Amino acid sequence: MRFVIVTGMSGAGKSSALKMLEDVGYFCVDNLPVALLDKFAQMTLDKTAKVENVALGIDIRNGEGIGELEAMLGKIEEMGISFEILFLNASNRILLKRYKETRRNHPLSRNGRVEDGIAKEREAMKFLLESATYVIDTSQLLIRELKEEIERIYVDGETTERFQIAVVSFGFKFGIPADVDLVFDVRFLPNPFYDLELRPLTGNDKAIQDFVMKYDEAVLFLEKLDDMMEFLIPNYIKEGKYNLVIGIGCTGGKHRSVTIANALAEKLEHLPYSIKVEHRDITR
């Protein structure tokens, strides 16, 4: 039996994750009071209950009861039940945007600002984030991508590393993506835009890749960037960071940045982390 505690930040996708787990056969209960957790766990030990896999949604809606969760989890461990914690996370900016779009109240900001509620919740949930078995940052994930992650962990049985890397290509003429952690400017590389035959193509096409990567500057830059990531990522993880967004920018976000973003992601594939590539401005 897999006993999963689904938790995390309000607005990060916990309800969606629970529905996905229910769809793959998990017995799901949302917003279970912490005080009933040990009783529920005891029930799952009863063979007549015929419960195979369980997912419980427990979050800040429990109010002050969330502070008792750590002790309660210790109790169910004493019963011989091993559990996993799935923590759904997202950046403060994304959470605020989602609350504004849905016009819902944050559980901790009914009489105040949503930003304050998010800050209070993040502090209250810190202990769960630090002890989580899996952390999924949904800041950049589509529902389809979240479903793929859930199925990979809980259906296919694959383990996943908590650290997630997104490599995003973009055009400076359209602005720097708001959520990037590191920005690298590749406008120093020769531009295939000025070749009329290459102009309609993108960095996903071999002709553009060959044009960009035939220059020693591109090869050397990529090698140095790879070395930097090898150094930075373990140190980010050590300091408690769970995701990294790397921005690669050129003028229009169609040729050089796409080529380098793809090449960097390919170089990082040997690392034991989740790697995803996004080309923000490739169709502009």
Pairing of strands 164-171, 83-89: unpaired
How confident is the model over 208-229, as a mean pLDDT? Answer: 97
The amino acid that residue 6 corresponds to is V
What is the architecture of the domain spanning 3-154? Answer: 3-Layer(aba) Sandwich (3.40)
Residue with the larger pLDDT of the pair 140 and 232: 232
Give the per-residue pLDDT at 258. Answer: 98
d(CA 228, CA 248): 14
pLDDT band at residue 160 using 50, 70 and 90 as cut-offs: very low
Q: Sign of torsion, CA 267 273 274 276? A: negative
Starting at the edge strand found earlier in the chain, the sheet holding 243-250 runs: 182-185, 243-250, 164-171, 274-279
- Nearest Cα residue to 18 out of 159, 150, 200, 174: 150
Question: HSE on the CB side for 265, CA within 13 Å?
Answer: 24
Both tokens assigned to 129: 């984030």
pLDDT digits (tens, 9 = 90+) for 251-279: 999 999 999 999 999 999 988 888 999 99
Instruction: Say whether pLDDT at 229 is over 80.
Output: yes
Q: Which residues pair with 135 in a beta bridge?
A: 87
What does the pLDDT average to over 226-254?
A: 90
**More confident position, 235 or 242:** 235
Predicted confidence (pLDDT) per residue in 20-43, tens digit = 999 988 999 999 999 999 999 988
**Paired tokens of 122:** 């993040």
The mean of the pLDDT values for the chain is 91
- Residue spans of the domains in the chain: they are 3-154, 164-279
Res 76 pLDDT > 60: yes
pLDDT over 90 percentage in the chain: 69
What residues have CB less than 8 Å from 99, skipping those under 6 apart? Answer: 11, 106, 114
**DSSP label at residue 107:** T
CA 61 to chain centre: 22
Is pLDDT of 186 > 70?
yes
In the prediction, which pLDDT does 208 show?
98
Quick check: helix, strand or coil at residue 258? Answer: helix
User: Torsion angle of alpha carbons 43, 47, 52, 53, nearest 10°?
Assistant: 20
pLDDT band at 158 (very low <50, low <70, confident <90, very high): low
Q: Calculate mean pLDDT across residues 121-145.
A: 91
Contact 251, 199 (CB under 8 A): no
Q: What pLDDT, on the 0 to 100 scale, is given for residue 31?
A: 92
Name the burial class of residue 110, with classes exposed (0-12), middle (13-18) and buried (19+) by CB atoms within 10 angstroms of its CB: exposed
- 106-115 pLDDT, tens digit per residue, is 888 877 788 9
Give the mean pLDDT of 115-132: 92
Q: Is residue 216 classed exposed, middle or buried when 0-12, 13-18 and 19+ CB atoms within 10 A define those classes?
A: exposed
Question: Quick one: pLDDT at residue 161?
Answer: 52
150-159, 192-201, 202-211, 228-237, range with the lowest pLDDT? 150-159
Number of helices (H), then strands (E), belonging to the chain: the values are: 10, 9
Q: Read off the pLDDT of each residue in 60-88 and give the average, rounded to a whole number.
A: 91
What tokens appear for 45 in the block? 């030990």
